[in-house]
Amino acid sequence: MGNTASVQVNYESSQELMDLIRYTAETLSLEFARWDEEYVSGPSLYFIVVADVNFDKYTDPLGANYWPTERCAVVSESAENFIEAARHVAFNCDGAVVVAADGTIQRQMVRVRSHNIEDSHTLTYPDWMGTKHLSALEVSTREEVLWAVTLSEENGRVTTFLDGTYQDYPREQIGGRWRPD
């Protein structure tokens, strides 16, 4: 009985963490007003939420691309600080931001290596998916990865990834009833 409660608590905090990250990506997408301009790239984000902070076996450091941990070291610490740090990363950095299951953000951003996906994970790649999205879909099949979230620099689309599946939120649909007109 104690194990069931523990798993439920972990799931709930994981869902809350996922929501905070997704809502931040949606906020940056909605803030950016130049999506329709030719040759203009919008904000771009790629987060992976990991159960184990030993992620070296499937990632490589990505040079001088760093999450500003001096501004925000934990996702839920301050919504304003998290959004501000995400905004900086979205326009100035490349690679995936690694977040531990407790919300602690790793400073070094990474490149996620491709891996052989088991037969039980037959992945479907829609035409709109670029390299970042393909990487997020693949990495979501790893046992150590709880979630992945991307924000597309091309059109503001926010996508969540879980266990080789994805939920896509085109920019026109994010924000729901709270979306500004």
* Residue 56 included in any domain: yes
* Residue 6 included in any domain: yes
User: The domain spanning residue 159 has which CATH number?
Assistant: 3.40.1700.10
| Per-residue pLDDT reduced to its tens digit, 59-98 | 999 999 999 999 999 999 999 999 999 999 999 999 999 9
Q: Which single residue is written with the structure tokens 């950095």?
A: 93
DSSP alpha helix (H) spans, 56-161: 79-92, 131-139
Six-digit token pair at 131? Answer: 């390299």
Domain total for the chain? 1
Q: What is the CA radius of gyration of the chain?
A: 16
DSSP E strands in the chain: the ranges are 45-50, 59-66, 97-100, 108-112, 145-151, 158-162, 165-169
| pLDDT at residue 9 is higher than 50 | no
Contact 125, 140 (CB under 8 A): no
Beta pairing partners, 62: none
Q: Which domain holds residue 98?
A: 2-173
* Residue 178 included in any domain: no
| Per-residue pLDDT reduced to its tens digit, 19-56 | 999 999 999 999 999 988 888 889 999 999 999 878 99
* Residue 79 included in any domain: yes
CA distance 106 to 169: 26
* Residue 94 included in any domain: yes
* Residue 180 included in any domain: no
